Amino acid sequence: MKRHKILMSTPTELSDRTMGAMARQVMARTDPEFLALYRQTTEKLQRIMHTRRDVVIMHGEAILGLEAALFCLMEEGTQCLVLISGSFGDGNLDWVQMYGGQPVEVRVPYNAAIDPADVERALRANPGIKLMFVVHCETLSGTLNPVRELCTLASQYGVVSVVDSVTGVGSVEARVDEWHMDVCCAGSQKCFNAPPGLALLSVSDAAWEMMRKRKRPVRWSYMSLLDWKESWLDKGVFPYTPSMTDVYGLSAALDQVLEEGIDDVLARHSYTARVCRAGMRGMGLELWPASDAIAAASATVARVPEGIDGPALVRRMDEGYGVIAQTGPKALRDQSLLGLSHMGRSADPMRIVVGLAALEKSLSDLGFGNRLGSGVGAALEAM
Amino acid sequence: MKRHKILMSTPTELSDRTMGAMARQVMARTDPEFLALYRQTTEKLQRIMHTRRDVVIMHGEAILGLEAALFCLMEEGTQCLVLISGSFGDGNLDWVQMYGGQPVEVRVPYNAAIDPADVERALRANPGIKLMFVVHCETLSGTLNPVRELCTLASQYGVVSVVDSVTGVGSVEARVDEWHMDVCCAGSQKCFNAPPGLALLSVSDAAWEMMRKRKRPVRWSYMSLLDWKESWLDKGVFPYTPSMTDVYGLSAALDQVLEEGIDDVLARHSYTARVCRAGMRGMGLELWPASDAIAAASATVARVPEGIDGPALVRRMDEGYGVIAQTGPKALRDQSLLGLSHMGRSADPMRIVVGLAALEKSLSDLGFGNRLGSGVGAALEAM
Amino acid sequence: MKRHKILMSTPTELSDRTMGAMARQVMARTDPEFLALYRQTTEKLQRIMHTRRDVVIMHGEAILGLEAALFCLMEEGTQCLVLISGSFGDGNLDWVQMYGGQPVEVRVPYNAAIDPADVERALRANPGIKLMFVVHCETLSGTLNPVRELCTLASQYGVVSVVDSVTGVGSVEARVDEWHMDVCCAGSQKCFNAPPGLALLSVSDAAWEMMRKRKRPVRWSYMSLLDWKESWLDKGVFPYTPSMTDVYGLSAALDQVLEEGIDDVLARHSYTARVCRAGMRGMGLELWPASDAIAAASATVARVPEGIDGPALVRRMDEGYGVIAQTGPKALRDQSLLGLSHMGRSADPMRIVVGLAALEKSLSDLGFGNRLGSGVGAALEAM
Amino acid sequence: MKRHKILMSTPTELSDRTMGAMARQVMARTDPEFLALYRQTTEKLQRIMHTRRDVVIMHGEAILGLEAALFCLMEEGTQCLVLISGSFGDGNLDWVQMYGGQPVEVRVPYNAAIDPADVERALRANPGIKLMFVVHCETLSGTLNPVRELCTLASQYGVVSVVDSVTGVGSVEARVDEWHMDVCCAGSQKCFNAPPGLALLSVSDAAWEMMRKRKRPVRWSYMSLLDWKESWLDKGVFPYTPSMTDVYGLSAALDQVLEEGIDDVLARHSYTARVCRAGMRGMGLELWPASDAIAAASATVARVPEGIDGPALVRRMDEGYGVIAQTGPKALRDQSLLGLSHMGRSADPMRIVVGLAALEKSLSDLGFGNRLGSGVGAALEAM
């Protein structure tokens, strides 16, 4: 049967308004109309990220922003504190090693959150640390790290912090200036419902300073944040032609976030997450995060029950009911995870109903023995 | 909380592909590219309606097509058989009277279907009958009439039949030529997921003949079907500029119907209707149609339980959960009805899950005393 | 060679912003968001038409609006003053006759404008006249009628005026209230650059009164203006589902008119018309209107020079250079006309340059003997 | 006066069909429908580039592709032949130096083309050369280099060639396999009328080999071509979420190229360039390229006449007539250049007419003393 696929993983679906905004003609990159639209777009980001600092849009997937931050800030031999509570944290570690940095690790299990006390110990023990990498929301595990405390600590120790908040900003509070996040990277195609293809970064003066003080500052490169600072922010000239259509889409998507109101958007995410947790528990599943207190607002992750094959469950949801669920981190060999992501427009309880229905029906199809309707019923109860 | 509205009434939602097709530049109405696209569009309609007869697209809502058929075929004093099993049937009666026709009624209650035996009796008793009006699917009641038998009968008595199949074609079988439907009117914004604004009619030779034999044939008018026959079909010249954007949308929407396959589309509608009936019964509702055999495939209608206020229920579903349900015919004073329509892309069991969840939660909110999850559970059971 | 067609006839091209606005999801016709958008759209029309009277959008091509006005206002035997200065005027005459009205004609040649003195004579001579039909801009002839004087006169004689301003409003001044236009019909796909499929009418109290006083007022019909008055304007309920996508398009297109400013839009049309006339004269053509004073701002029409075949010239412009020019009225047998329309976004001197270039090159191809560049040169001179 | 801007520089305008294709919902990056569309898109590129080699789409502006090729192929100390006939060639030199390569230069003036004999001499004199960088079309100078001869030579000397054909492919012949181009980089937003944001590269086995043989091959980076080879091309898994909307746009734009036919597209470019040269000469300008034989098909560049201020001329064309012309390379201090680019859909003689009209009128406004119409007239003559 022909099905309209329902994404409960990423990228998140665009609204018709955003799609309509992207059906727009390109312009000269010097066109005053485009320059104004571009500036307004970064101003909207500043409001959403609670920052008055520079915001840079890089023209590639979110991962370009994270790599560029590391590439521009770190040098051969820089001592870096890497906080690891999930697969993205482990990825940061790989990158630091690849680019020749000296990593200091703070690590917890994939279902837990980093403890600021551990970080303080590490900072005290390693006064040479210059940079700290932390993941705000470990999407695949459905967990959050206490970014506020972690970045404040880093700042107290004079350490520049780089925060991967790709699925954080827009689903949970993220106050860049107050929380002392030096570089904070948000993602267009996650909680903002904008198209993939843009990396969104706030950059503090301390971070610009560190980039400029590198032996050979990264300039005139697709990976250069400084080019955007010195060419676009300082002189209003683009280093190259931006991905215009994606910028149109981002701009329209941010309007929708701001019209709804940032606080209301966050409340909607957290409410939806609560309903989703109730539904998953209602059908007899055990949630993965060690506690609800560290559960993400952008994705809810459960353990695949013993006796059920994780990949088969995901496949069944897709092929049988058109719902694309989120799989767990590959590194977790002994425990299969399954998530329903609820970012942006998907952070809607009635949409969660669809995900839960597909999940409980698929579990039943694979012999889990659950009573049909118990998941959705519990979710409706929680509304 | 900001909600994305979910339409379980009409018009039905457009696919992104259809919307994209409508973001197209207009052309001269003599442009060969437009002429070809227009012709292909009517050919697609012919395939879907199983007809080799003329198909005319009128440039207004479906109701223009129905009125135009009556206006062009009927004269002052023409004897018309009007079959009434719901509110649209009653509307036809009003029209026949307004335009000066002489109606002969065959009427059954709003939860029943016309019996061909009654029609045969009426035809035999009134040999002066020239026209028959019948509604294929009475959407607001969720019932079907046996159009095949009824039109075949009319044809045997030399009576020209006009079928309102606005929510029929595309959800249930409708074989224009085999079933002897002289004029069959389908709707763009119902089972085809095309935009509102176009009326789609097949016209038999007998119907053209009857239009031409009128004392003063209707020509050079927005209501004239003959203009389309004599100008567009015969000479390839449009009587006026067509609603191009809507034609682009219809063309793209029909492609999607044909790519899926007409039979598969119908099967999807009937499967969804079955799941929806199971879900409604599962939460303790009584269905409105006298039997499942006459239940529509495009909308499922139930009685609002005693003690529950119909309009309040519809409002609750909308305001509380973002689901726009279908209300019943106004003529039914003593019984409030509520429907979930599942036409076109909405004919998807997972979408029905959303409608059912909103319905059972709203019933519970209004004190119906149902167990949450029982409706969705029964629907999942039926999948 | 593959060519992007350039329309210098109608419909006029949509802007990318308008197309993007049309790539929007449909809504329930009771959705408050849609109701608000619809109301705002008519308010925009009121501003553009300088009226505080009711504005009705009918859901069909402009011609539906004109026919509906006549159908709803006139009865069998009503005496109507029909002003004829071109092919649309002659069309009005045919309609009055078809629907059983009693026409009184005032007629001038197709290259002239109606003289108010003639109208006053006719009104005085025929005190039974109840209705007056007049065409503001005879597009195919490129001429204007003095609507202000004509409607003021009618109003002094207690005659209800119906103005076809389909290519007038938006290109030249049209002040509905001050000028006493009882019904004024504008077109979406002309000077507004909106999609075809909507007829836009202002209606005075006198006109509503006349419709209601008919022996059998037209109600419950696709042609009924009263339905829109009594259902939509009075109660906020649509008589049937509107052509939503077209309304989205119209709304966006009107925003663009208002953002530019109505007066600036008119000035742009008149400037472009002046440049176009200079260019046509520059290449040796004779303009068709008797004087520049009555020349339209929406289309410039010239005589096809002797020895050149009109249809061949139009074909050459299309096939050789991708420009779709406007042909003249069919009734003019002994004189072939050719027009360049410049409505809405096409009212741009640089676009006229393209039309002129195609025209002078095509004339040269067909042996007219003109010096290439003389047309465009004269137009540039006039800028 | 409100003007619709006409781009005669880049990016090139999208067709309505391409914009409509971009108003499409995003999908999971594992969705079979997206995977198929992505594969078909690279196959279309292979056909257009006349190659059976791997084609990689990188998700950033064209410049990302060029930098990535250099970053992945070159190491500290690699000897590189850099051919310089314009500003992009000079940019390549800067990059080679920045990334620690050892450049060998072959240089000609900015209005000339590289002579293969000079290249052969350089290759013979420097047997250590491993890489050659060459620009196919120097857009800002409007000149072409003989890529066929140059790459064939490189291949004979075992040197891997990297060709910047960003404005070459799609406007002039570019046969990757026959001409031995190891890495050929095309641009989406130039001759293909696709949106900016994608870099399109063909990669030969020799180039892959060279990347893998690097001391530390570039992997797991946004700049890594090998990631795309090893993850996407070999396993069908994307290294990160692609810029979906841009891919939709590219795919639709390439369909339009292929439906027209590659040879016809090239013929249209070369015809338009010829017409543009005639028009520029007709108004008294001197073309910049040393000969028509090396004149680009994608942009025509002339010297700004003595006494006329280049930037003022460009500004006048924009502000007075809405035409955005192309400026010359900044390095040319003593000679100001002005270009009209005619890539993709702009490669249309009637569009050139607009550019020429704006140019001759602006020259006249600035006191050049040309006769208005002489440029357009000469262009029409040349059609």
- Give pLDDT, residue B333: 77
Residues of chain C with pLDDT > 90, as a percent, come to 97
Three-state secondary structure call for residue C51: coil
**Residue D246: closest CA among D1, D22, D88:** D22
- Give which of B271, B252, B273, B253 is closest to B263, Cα–Cα: B271
D153 and D120 Cβ atoms separated by less than 8 Å: yes
Rounded-to-integer distance, Cα A160 and Cα C361, Å: 67
Question: Do D287 and D340 form a contact (C-beta atoms < 8 A)?
Answer: no
Spatial distance between the Cα atoms of A182 and D359, rounded to a whole number of angstroms? 49
Burial D4-29 (b: 16+ CB within 10 A, else e): eebbbbbbbbbbbbbbbbbbbbbbbb
Closest CA to B63 of C60, C225, C70, C236: C60
Distances (CA, A) of D73 to D61, D131, D204, D213, D340: 19, 8, 12, 9, 35
Which residues, listed in sequence order, are joined to residue D137 by a DSSP beta bridge? Answer: D144
The C-alpha atoms of residue C128 and residue C120 are separated, in whole angstroms, by: 14
Q: Which residue has the tokens 């031999």?
A: A77
Name the token pair of C207: 């006109």
Q: How far is residue B337's CA from residue B358's CA, in Å, rounded to a whole number?
A: 16
Chain D residues 187-246 with CB within 8 Å of chain A: 189, 195-197, 220-223, 240-246
Q: How many CA atoms lie within 13 A of C76 on its CB side?
A: 2
pLDDT confidence tier of residue C182, bands split at 50, 70 and 90:
very high
Helix-, strand-, coil-residue percentages of chain B, each rounded to 5: 45, 15, 40
Measure in Å the smallest separation between the Cα of A34 and chain C Cα atoms: 14
3-class secondary structure, A301: strand
Answer yes or no: do B11 and C241 touch at CB < 8 A.
yes
Sort out which chain B residues have CB atoms less than 8 A from A264's CB and list them: 1-2
Backbone phi and psi for residue C204, each to the nearest 5 degrees, phi listed first: -85, 165
Dist. CA C336–CA C328, nearest whole Å: 7
Tell me what the pLDDT averaged over chain C comes to. Answer: 97
Residues listed for chain D: 383
Test the D interface: residue of A4, A12, A222 with most D CBs within 10 Å: A222
Give the CB-side neighbour count of residue D298, counting CA atoms within 13 A: 29
Residues in chain A predicted with pLDDT less than 50, given as ranges, are none
CA–CA dist A137, A295 (Å, integer): 9
pLDDT tens for the 383 residues of chain B, in order: 788 899 999 899 999 999 999 999 999 999 999 999 999 999 999 999 999 999 999 999 999 999 999 999 999 999 999 999 999 999 999 999 999 999 999 999 999 999 999 999 999 999 999 999 999 999 999 999 999 999 999 999 999 999 999 999 999 999 999 999 999 999 899 999 999 999 999 999 999 999 999 999 999 999 999 999 999 999 999 999 999 999 999 999 999 999 999 999 999 999 999 999 999 999 999 999 999 999 999 999 999 999 999 999 999 999 999 999 999 998 887 889 999 999 999 999 999 999 999 999 999 999 999 999 999 999 999 99
pLDDT the model gives residue D330: 86
Q: Does C4 reach chain A within 8 Å, measured CB to CB? A: no
**Closest listed residue to residue A41, CA positions, set A161, A186, A180:** A186
Q: C252-268 pLDDT, tens per residue?
A: 999 999 999 999 999 99
Q: Could you tell me the CA-to-CA distances from D131 to B11, B347, C16, D53 in Å, in that order?
A: 61, 59, 44, 19
Of C16, C22, C23, the CB nearest to A25: C16
DSSP C135: E
Quick check: helix, strand or coil at residue B157? coil
Rounded-to-integer distance, Cα B38 and Cα B189, Å: 18
Model confidence pLDDT, tens digit, residues D156-206: 999 999 999 999 999 999 999 999 999 999 989 999 999 999 999 999 999
Q: Which two tokens stand for residue D29?
A: 């990056």
DSSP codes of every residue in D304-315: PPTTS-HHHHHH
Tell me how close the Cα of C2 comes to any Cα of chain D, in angstroms. 7
Residues in chain C: 383
Q: CA C58, CA C199: separation in Å to the nearest integer?
A: 5
Number of helices and strands in chain D (H, E): 14, 14
Residue type, B328: G
Distance CA C19, CA A61 (A): 28
- Give tens-digit pLDDT for B52-99: 999 999 999 999 999 999 999 999 999 999 999 999 999 999 999 999
Is B376 close to A357, i.e. CB distance below 8 A?
yes
B325 is written with which tokens? Answer: 């349900």
- Residues A112-171 have pLDDT tens digits of 999 999 999 999 999 999 999 999 999 999 999 999 999 999 999 999 999 999 999 999
**Model pLDDT, residue A105:** 98
Phi, psi of B124 (to 5 degrees): -70, -40
pLDDT at C333 over 80: no
pLDDT in tens, C129-145: 999 999 999 999 999 99
- Does A381 touch chain B if contact means CB atoms closer than 8 Å? yes
Which chains does chain A touch, 3 or more C-beta pairs < 8 A?
B, C, D
Q: Is C231 left (phi over 0), alpha (psi -120 to 50) or beta?
A: alpha
* DSSP H or E segment with residue D155: helix D147-156
B289 vs A383, B145, B273, B308, D206, CA distance in Å?
32, 12, 13, 20, 72
Query: Residue D6 in contact with residue D354, Cβ under 8 Å?
Result: yes
Q: With contact defined as beta carbons under 8 Å apart, do D272 and D66 qualify? A: no
Specify whether the CB–CB gap between D299 and D142 falls below 8 A.
yes
> Chain B: residue nearest D249 by CA?
B20
Are C26 and C151 in contact by the 8 Å Cβ rule? The answer is no
Task: Match 């053509």 to its residue by tokens.
Answer: C285
The answer for residues whose C-beta is within 8 angstroms of residue C209's C-beta and 6 or more apart is none
Strands A102-107 and A79-84: parallel
pLDDT of residue D320: 96
In a mutagenesis test of the D interface, which of B4, B13, B14, B16 is the best target, namely the one with the most D β-carbons within 10 Å?
Answer: B16
* 8 Å CB contact between C76 and C67: no
Alpha-helical runs (H) found in B3-115: 16-22, 32-48, 62-73, 87-98
Asked if B29 and B243 touch (Cβ cutoff 8 Å), the reply is no
CA distance C257 to C171: 11
Contact status, residue A11 vs residue C18, Cβ threshold 8 Å: no
Instruction: Please work out, in degrees rounded to the nearest 5, the angle formed at the alpha carbon of residue B351 by the alpha carbons of B336 and B312.
Output: 25
Cα–Cα distance for residue pair C159/C157, rounded to 1 Å: 5
DSSP for D176-225, please give it: TTTTT-SEEEEETTSTT-PPSS-EEEEE-HHHHHHHHHSSS---SSTT-H
Q: How far apart are CA A321 and CA A360, in angstroms?
A: 11
Stretch C108-122: mean pLDDT, rounded?
A: 98
Chain-centre distance for alpha carbon A34? 27
Q: Do C5 and B14 touch (CB under 8 A)?
A: no
Separation of alpha carbons C163 and C66, rounded Å: 9
Residue C343 has pLDDT above 80, yes or no: yes
Residue B332, pLDDT score: 83
Element of type H or E holding A369: none
Residue C145 near residue C114, CB atoms below 8 Å:
yes
CB contact under 8 A, D23 and B23: yes
Residue A120 CA from chain centroid, whole number:
25
Specify the DSSP class assigned to residue D15.
P
Q: Cβ of D93: how many Cβ atoms within 10 Å?
A: 18
CA–CA distance, B54 with B46 (Å, rounded to integer): 8
Look at B372 and A354 and tell me if their CB atoms are within 8 Å. Answer: no
Chain D residue whose CA is closest to A244: D196
Per-residue pLDDT, averaged over C229-238, amounts to: 97
What six digits make up the tokens of A292? 């609800």
Both structure tokens of D166: 């960003």
In this complex, is the C-beta atom of D73 within 8 Å of any C-beta atom belonging to chain B? no
Name the stretches of chain D with pLDDT < 50.
none
Q: Which chain C residue shows the shortest CA-CA distance from A21?
A: C20
ipTM of the complex: 0.96
- Output phi, psi for C155, to 5 deg: -65, -35
In eight-state DSSP terms, residue B132 is E
